[in-house]
A and B are shown apart, each in its own frame.
Chain A
Amino acid sequence: MTSEDGRLVVVFNGEIYNYPQLRTELESDGVHFCTTSDTEALLHLYARHGAEMVHRLRGMFAFAIWDQLQRRLFLARDPYGIKPLYTANDGWTFRFASQVKALVAGGNLSRDLEPAGVVGFHLFGSVPEPFTLYRDIRSLPAGHTQWVDAAGPREPKPFSNLAEVLAKGAANPVLAAEIPERVRDGVLDSVRAHLLADVEVGVFLSAGVDSGALLGCMRDAGYREIRAITLAFEEFNGTSEDEAPLADQVCKRYGARHVVRHLSQQEFVEDLPAILEAMDQPSIDGVNTWFVSKAAREAGLKVVISGLGGDELLGGYPSFTDVPRWRRRFGGLAGVPGLGFFARALIARVAPAFSHARPKALGLLEYSGTWAGAYLLRRGLFLPHELPEVMDPEIAREGMHRLRPLRCLGASLKPDPGSDVARVCVLESVHYMRNQLLRDADWAGMAHSLEIRVPLVDFTLLSALASSIPAIAKGAGKAALAAAPTTPLPNEVVTRAKSGFSVPTGAWIKSVVGDASSSIGQKPESKGIVSRRWSQAVLNGAALAKRPLEVHAS
């Protein structure tokens, strides 16, 4: 879109949820709108506030504004990184796109691998920003802006920082008793904002707390005629693992129309090539999102609400317990320089079977000395010392040098968020959720022309809950969320959610990658092994370059 005077041109991917307020403000300042699109608001905001405009936006966004007068380009990406933005600079030409694939397809870029991207994928199961799998392509980090002019692209500058918001919150903590009300107000406000649309908005519904509570809040926000999409697996029909009956109960409670989409192993196998094709960067996840998006699309929906982010925001993951516990138990010993390394080397020597079967147990002494290390241990697919076994040792060494995973994890905790819950919240939000969950939601949704909206991934909501998060005890966050709708979620949902659900896609993946894959991990009983094999299959699959990537030692 071009501004009325022709000076500014914008390309925009995303959604600005506070558009009505922004428009009212701008119009009362005498601004004339030519369209009814939120894209136009970006042009007016830029013209008035320049780079500072980003602080006024609520939503998911990646955009670029070309200023014809000043001959410079302004790029920005939302604080959580819901929308992707990739750049490539060869020293003469600056290119940007919302997909790595698009930049590759545009040509004139080398396909040389970025060792940091390869190593990052093996450590985390997704490629950590700002790296991609290609050396010539980078991601504009979430919550950053970037200027480009004749003197070249400037280094991206941060405009928001999750750790800082939580650190401020920790300075004025609230009482635990106040949490439910704050969660209710914050979530309802966010859901309301996320319902802004000129088409029907559906919801992804599992039998968990997050999506159920969002459905309840949609109802509270005055939304009627809601369609809820649930994925059901044929294997689980009639078993306690089947989420559909419980989800159905939730639908009945809130008067939503329930669409249950059954998925079979056969369909999974059939879709696998398309999934790998749609994947913009390798990821060991995203398969479930692919199918539930497919179901929503089949139901004719173009926009859905998803409960993604609830676990990160409200302490839902086991990591909220594990990471602080490991820090307490092993952190002291791990602080002794070299001890962990020597212990690992020793055990690998005297008990090689143990060290192969439980690589992470060995890492406890080595990594739990810092928050970053303990988190890497919790989320890690492979640990750094295992990398030379699964790839060319030179790429592993180079990748570690370029990625510096511990320093990069540690940097996200500056300033210190001030409490255990907040620290894990930041680590999960800034790494796992950003590089894996949100990216998967983007490609899996986009492949079905579906816009996935995530009210629990909202900077305004985070700011509202910043002073509550430190006080969230185990389970309390989810309980507060379950109680957020005027009519709370059925008790069964809260109780059932605690024991967790399983999906058969893990087993299906196993049947696909099987034993044929490679010799990674010697003991298949270990839970992470399938993921490890899958990661190799994804990387070697048709996913990216349409040619095998030469990262593995032959």
Chain B
Amino acid sequence: MRSSPAMLALVTDAYGGRGGIAQYNRDFFGALAKGGLPSVTVLPRQAPDFPMPPETIEQLPARAGRVAYSVAALRTALFQTVDVVFCGHLFMAPLAALIARLKGAKLIIQAHGIEAWSQPSRIQRTATERANLVLCVSRHTRAAVLSWAAIAPDRVLVVPNTVREVFTPADGSAQRAALGVEGKCVLLTVGRMDSRERYKGHDRVIAAILDLVAKGHDICYLVVGQGDDRARLEALAQDAGVSERVRFLGALGLQSLIEIYRAADLFAMPSTGEGFGVTFLEAMASGTPTIGLDVAGAKDALADGELGTVASEAELSAAISRTLDQPKPDPVDLATAVHARFGQKQFANNALNVLGRLTETA
């Protein structure tokens, strides 16, 4: 590989994108661009917001259609130097592997969560087995990839998500007053309410509320996020007789989100489907303790219990109760520990390690 390699990144979205994957991609490319990868060309499937990539990174216009996207990717590869192909989603792995082969370039495949947990199509699998490196956001995703791909385990690395520096701890009492939840025991979940997924665990928290109230916790459960499953969850709270304790706040802007994190007593996301669970990090970076299940990627975000509480599904309610009874950790200490482990600096180190590994591999 040349000493100043050029990378072509095939991604669902990055700059001008909205979700966690877009954020991860921006963090990753940003870290590489700062750390010695002089040329990064990003080809996204979508960019709903106005894209503003940093100076050294070029993002091509988004191509939503599969054919149009493939043509654009091949055309770009044809006219540019490509030393590394970064494939941001397993779905595009065959295209990325083809381009890597045509250009004699190294191939990195990124695996996030659920898309990599069960065996993909044969061509996606073959493409993955050709990769020089496969990056996974958590140990769980890595183990899943190794279960279906015949690839040397040392080529499959864990590069966890990171948390942005804007998430910091501060006094949340003004926000609590604004919400009218002073004196309450505030639980919070931030996440999409998607009727096709339903793994985030809103149901489990709602089901636990009566029990928690019986144990003396005056619960108020804040639900942030949007999605087509909201009506069902509202009905669920109604049926459980806790609708006055559950408040759906919809989607929030960044600043409001940070303030809500600070206002909560406990961030609870008993999800069974997290690739990693970056909202755990955001909550803890805002000084709020967290609880999640011992399932999938959440264990990584909670650092096996070192940062947040890891509970089994069966004793979720008891674990929430215990955590609420404990004295709250010092918000600044918690935020410092989270940034030390999953902060931007650590993430940049990881990204540069990946680049170093790529140079080593045959």
User: Using a CB–CB distance below 8 Å, which chain A residues touch chain B?
Assistant: 89-92, 110, 112, 116, 135-136, 138, 150-156, 401-402
Contacts and interface: CB of A to CB of B under 8 A. Distances in A.
A91 B156 contact: yes
Nearest to A112: B147
A135 B154 contact: no
Contacts of B147: 112, 135
A352 B360 CA distance: 53
A154 B150 contact: no
Contact of B357 (A90, A135, A152, A402): A152
Nearest to A94: B154
B235 interface: no
Contacts of B156: 91
Given A90-B143, A155-B152, A156-B154, 16 more contacts: A89-B154, A90-B139, A91-B138, A91-B139, A91-B142, A92-B139, A112-B147, A150-B349, A151-B356, A151-B357, A152-B154, A152-B157, A152-B353, A152-B357, A153-B154, A402-B150
Interface in B307-359: 349, 353-354, 356-357
B158 A91 contact: yes
B146 interface: yes
A151 B158 CA distance: 10
Interface residues on B, range: 20 to 34
B206 interface: no
Contacts of B54: none
Contacts of A92: 139, 158, 300
- With most chain A CB atoms within 10 A of its CB, the pick from B150, B152, B155, B357 is B150
Contacts of A110: 143
Contact of B360 (A89, A91, A154): A154
Interface in B264-287: none
A112 B146 CA distance: 11
Interface in B85-115: none
A153 B154 CA distance: 6
B154 A154 contact: yes
Interface in B38-61: none
B136 interface: yes
List the 4 closest A-B pairs by CB distance, nearest first.
Answer: A91-B158, A151-B353, A402-B150, A91-B142
Contacts of A152: 154, 157-158, 353, 357
A156 B360 CA distance: 12
A272 to B, nearest CB: 34
A90 B353 contact: no
A319 B226 CA distance: 69
B136 A150 contact: no
Nearest to B300: A92
A307 to B, nearest CB: 36
Contacts of B136: 91
Contacts of B356: 151
14 contacts: A91-B136, A91-B142, A91-B143, A91-B157, A110-B143, A150-B349, A151-B157, A151-B353, A152-B353, A152-B357, A154-B357, A154-B360, A155-B152, A401-B150
